[in-house]
Structure 1
Amino acid sequence: MSAVEVSGVTRRFGAVVALDDVSLEVGHGELVGLLGPNGAGKSTLLSLVSGQRRPDTGVVRLNGHDPRDARSRTVLGLTPQETGLPATLRVREVVDFVGGHYPDPVPTAELLDQFGLVDLANRQTGSLSGGQKRRLAVALSLVGRPRVVLLDEPTTGLDVSGRTALWDAIRAYHASGGTVLLTSHYLEEVQALAERVVVIDHGTVLADDSLENILGKVGARRVQLTDAAGVRQEHLVTDSDAFVRDLVRSGAEFKDLEIRGASLEEAFGQLVDATNEGAVR
Structure 2
Amino acid sequence: MKTAVAASHLTQTFTSRTGTVEAVKDVSFTVAPGEVVALLGENGAGKSTLLDMLLGLASPTAGSVKICGTAPAQAVRAPRVAAVLQSGGLLKDLTVKDQVAMVAATYPTAPKVWAALEAAGIADIANRKIAKCSGGQQQKVRFAIALLSDPEILVLDEPTTGMDVKARAAFWESMHAQATLGKTILFATHYLEEAQDFADRIIMLSHGSVVADATTEQIRAQAGVRTVRFRLDGGSELALTAQQQEEWGVQLSPAQKGRYTLSCVEVERFLAFVLAEYPLTQLEVTQPTLAEAFSILARTN
TM over 0.5: yes
* Residue 150 (1) aligns with residue 155 (2): yes
Higher-Rg member (1/2): 2
Query: Which position in structure 1 is the counterpart of 2:23?
Result: 18
Greater alpha carbon shift after TM alignment, 234-243 vs 64-73: 234-243
Counterpart of 1:267?
Answer: 293
Work out whether 1:52 is the aligned partner of 2:57. yes
- Whether the 8 Å contact between 2:95 and 2:130 is mirrored in structure 1 is yes
1:60-89 per-position Cα deviation (integer Å, ceiling 9, x unaligned): 111111113376451111011223310001
| Corresponding residue SS for 1:69 | helix
Distance 1:224 1:25, change over 3 A: same
Deviation at 1:123, TM superposition (A): 1.0
TM-score (normalizing by structure 2)? 0.78
Q: 1:228 to 1:56 in 2, by over 3 A?
A: closer
Q: How far has the Cα of 1:262 moved from its partner?
A: 2.3
Alpha-carbon distance change, 200 to 250 in structure 1, aligned in 2, over 3 angstroms: same
Q: 1:106 to 1:167 in 2, by over 3 A?
A: farther
Aligned partner of 2:166 in structure 1 is: 161
Identity %: 36
Gap regions ≥5 residues in structure 2: 232-254
Alignment of 1:1-281 (within 5 A): 1-14=2-15, 15-69=20-74, 72-104=77-109, 107-222=112-227, 237-238=264-265, 242=270, 260-275=286-301
The answer to whether the Cα contact below 8 Å between 2:26 and 2:209 also exists between their aligned partners in 1 is yes
State the Cα deviation string for residues 160-198 of structure 1 (Å, max 9, x = none). 111111111111111111011111010000000111111
What is the distance in 1 between the residues matched to 2:88 and 2:229? 43
- Residues paired across the two proteins, number: 272
Q: Distance in 1 between matches of 2:201 and 2:210?
A: 13
Once the two structures are superposed, residues 208-263 of structure 1 have per-residue CA deviations (whole angstroms, 9 ceiling, x without a partner) of 1222211221134456799978xx997655467858x969x9999x98x8654322
Structure 1 unmatched runs, 5+: 276-281
Does the aligned pair in 1 maintain the 2:226–2:267 contact within 8 Å? yes
Query: Please, what TM-score do these two structures have when normalized by structure 1?
Result: 0.84
The 10-residue stretch of structure 1 (16-25 or 191-200) with the greater mean CA deviation from structure 2: 16-25
Contact 1:83 1:137 in 2 (8 A): no
